[in-house]
């Protein structure tokens, strides 16, 4: 029911045309994609909320010792496996490869950014473990730092002038550092996920350089 007077000038032909347009929108391929995006983001939000509450919520609700980095890291991997399971179930329209360019579609970029942001959140305990807790073995006696000049750095000469101490790492240390690097890469990918939004799908893209011609304004996506 409409309030009195609101619909008095709405003809039957207008009503029929509106219904027909509404049916076409609801049944169109774009609408199907929107529904898939909406449902997959809703489920992803649940996965991320559960992981965040488990890893960073009040300590009294945790089923593990939050002061034990090993236990936290173990639970982080458990939630990562759930997140990867979500990604494997994506339909072909939403699936993507880590090495492909950011999407030009706002909603698809949003899904990818949320995924990479969640992955960073889940693996952050490993980054903390590698940065503050991991004890590296001392270098062999009598050795000095070897200057690493063989590999050119894409970010200038800062990395090429450092003295690097070469040490032998254990298998567990290698694993921790590998996952910490995945955490850093996820943070980077979540940052550049919106770089191409609004551009043509076949447009050129150089990493870390947004190609938008104007500021991206995002309100309510759905």
Instruction: Please report whether residue 13 resides in a domain.
Output: no
Instruction: Please report whether residue 111 resides in a domain.
Output: yes
216 pLDDT more than 80? no
Instruction: Please report whether residue 94 resides in a domain.
Output: yes
pLDDT in tens, 90-104: 999 999 999 999 999
Closest by alpha carbon to 56, among 47, 46, 66?
Answer: 66
Instruction: Please report whether residue 16 resides in a domain.
Output: no
pLDDT in tens, 127-140: 888 887 767 666 66
Q: 152 in helix, strand or coil?
A: coil
Instruction: Please report whether residue 210 resides in a domain.
Output: no
Domain count, the chain: 1
Query: Residue 62's domain spans which residues?
Result: 29-134+171-196
pTM across the whole model: 0.71
Instruction: Please report whether residue 37 resides in a domain.
Output: yes
Q: What is the 3-state secondary structure (H, E, C) of 35-89?
A: HHHHHHHHHHHHHHHHHHHHHHCCHHHCCCCCCCHHHHHHHHHHHHHHHHHHHHC
The band of 222, judged by pLDDT with boundaries at 50, 70 and 90, is: very low
Instruction: Please report whether residue 2 resides in a domain.
Output: no
Residue predicted with more confidence, 218 or 95:
95
pLDDT in tens, 22-71: 545 455 677 788 888 989 999 999 999 999 988 888 765 667 776 777 78
Instruction: Please report whether residue 162 resides in a domain.
Output: no
């Amino acid at each position: 029911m409409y309030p009195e007077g609101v619909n008095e000038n709405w003809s039957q032909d207008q009503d029929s045309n509106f219904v027909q347009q509404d049916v076409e929108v609801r049944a169109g391929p774009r609408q199907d994609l929107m529904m898939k995006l909406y449902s997959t983001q809703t489920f992803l939000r649940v996965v991320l909320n559960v992981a965040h509450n488990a890893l960073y919520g009040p300590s009294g609700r945790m089923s593990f010792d939050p002061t034990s980095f090993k236990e936290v890291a173990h639970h982080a991997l458990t939630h990562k496996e759930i997140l990867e399971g979500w990604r494997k179930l994506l339909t072909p329209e939403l699936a993507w490869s880590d090495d492909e360019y950011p999407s030009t579609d706002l909603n698809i970029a949003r899904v990818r950014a949320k995924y990479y942001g969640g992955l960073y959140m889940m693996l952050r305990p490993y980054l903390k473990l590698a940065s503050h807790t991991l004890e590296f073995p001392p270098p062999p006696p009598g050795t000095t730092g070897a200057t690493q000049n063989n590999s050119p750095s894409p970010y200038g000469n800062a990395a090429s002038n450092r003295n690097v101490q070469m040490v032998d790492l254990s298998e567990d240390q290698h694993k921790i550092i590998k996952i910490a690097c995945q955490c850093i890469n996820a943070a980077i990918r979540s940052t550049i996920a919106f770089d191409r939004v609004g551009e043509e799908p076949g447009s050129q893209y150089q990493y870390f350089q947004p190609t938008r011609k104007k500021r991206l304004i995002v309100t309510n996506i759905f």
